[in-house]
Amino acid sequence: MWIVVGVASVFLLKAAGSKSLVPSKMQSMAELLVEFIRGIIQDTMGASGMRYFPLISSLFIFILFSNLLGLIPGSYTVTSQIIVTGVFALGVYALSLVIGFQLHGAKFLGILVPPGTPGWLLPLMIPIELISQLARPISLAVRLFANMTAGHVILGVLFGLTIAGGVLIGWLPFSFTIVLYGLEVGIAFIQAYIFTVLTCVYIGDAIHLH
C-alpha cells in the first residue's frame, strides 16, 4: 500500500512541479485526471459536491494506481484483498450517513421512504429500503474485490496452462493471456471509476434528500 501511495505521489508531484502554460506529457496526463474526477463530481452531486473533491480524488487515484500497479507481473494487488475494499466501502458509507444526519437531522430517516409511497405499503417498503441501504457498502466492497481477484486468477490459470502445455500447445493459452491482459487494464480503470461514481452518488443522496 505504501508503494502505491509513493508512486502516485511521485507521479503527481512531478507532473505538478513544472507549471508551464504549454503542458508537458506528464502534466497534461495529470490535468486530464483532475478534469475527469471533476466531471464525475459535477455530474453526480452538482456544484455543491466540490467540497468533497479532495476525498474523492484521493480515493480514485489510490484505487486506480493500486489496480494498475497490480497488473505488473510479480507485483501484488492491494485491492484484491476484501479487507482493504471493505474498509474503504464502510468508511464511505459511514461518511455519507454522518453528512446526511448533520445536514438534515432526524429528517434524514426519510431516506427509508421513497417519495410517493401510499401509506398501506409502508410496512413493506421500509424493510426493503433498509436492506437496499445496508447492501450498498457490501456491493461496493465485493464488486472491486471480486473483479480484481477474478482477473488475476484467470491470468494465473492461463499462465499455468502455458507452462504445462509446453511449446507444442502452450502458444494457445499464451495468446489468450495477451488479450485478457488488455481487458484487465480496462477493468482496472472501470472499477476505479465505478467506485468513485458510487461514492459520489451516495454522498449526493445524503446531501440532496430525494
Partner 1 sequence: MAPSQDPLFAGLGQAMRVGTDLLAALIVGGFLGWLIDSYIFDSTPWGVAIGLVLGLITGIRNAYRAAQRWNT
Interface pick for partner 1 out of 33, 69, 113, 142 (rule CB under 8 A): 142
Task: Verify binding: residue 50, partner 1, rule CB under 8 A.
Answer: no
Interface pick for partner 1 out of 1, 94, 121, 128 (rule CB under 8 A): 128
Interface pick for partner 1 out of 1, 134, 179, 183 (rule CB under 8 A): 134
Q: Which candidate, 99, 80, 85, 187, places its Cα nearest to that of 137?
A: 85
Residue (129 or 161) nearer to partner 1, CB: 129
| Long-range Cβ pairs for the range 173-177 (8 Å, 24+) | none
DSSP labels for 37-52?
Answer: HHHHHHHHH-GGGGGG
Name the grid cell of 99: 453528512
- Window contacting partner 1 (CB under 8 A); options: 33-41, 52-60, 68-76, 104-112: 33-41
Task: Verify binding: residue 143, partner 1, rule CB under 8 A.
Answer: yes
Query: Least distance from C-beta 12 to partner 1, angstroms?
Result: 21
What is the rounded distance in angstroms from the CA atom of residue 87 to the CA atom of residue 128? Answer: 25
Site string for partner 1, 98-127 (x = CB under 8 A): -----------------------------x
Q: In angstroms, how far is the first alpha carbon of the chain from the final one?
A: 37
| Dihedral of the alpha carbons of 80, 82, 87, 91, in degrees to the nearest 10 | 90
Angle at 135 between CA 131 and CA 136, to 5 degrees: 125
Interface pick for partner 1 out of 32, 190, 208, 209 (rule CB under 8 A): 190
The number of residues that bind partner 1 (CB under 8 A) is 26
Q: Which residues bind partner 1 (CB under 8 A)?
A: 36, 39-40, 42-44, 127-128, 131-132, 134-136, 138-139, 142-143, 146-147, 189-191, 193-194, 197-198
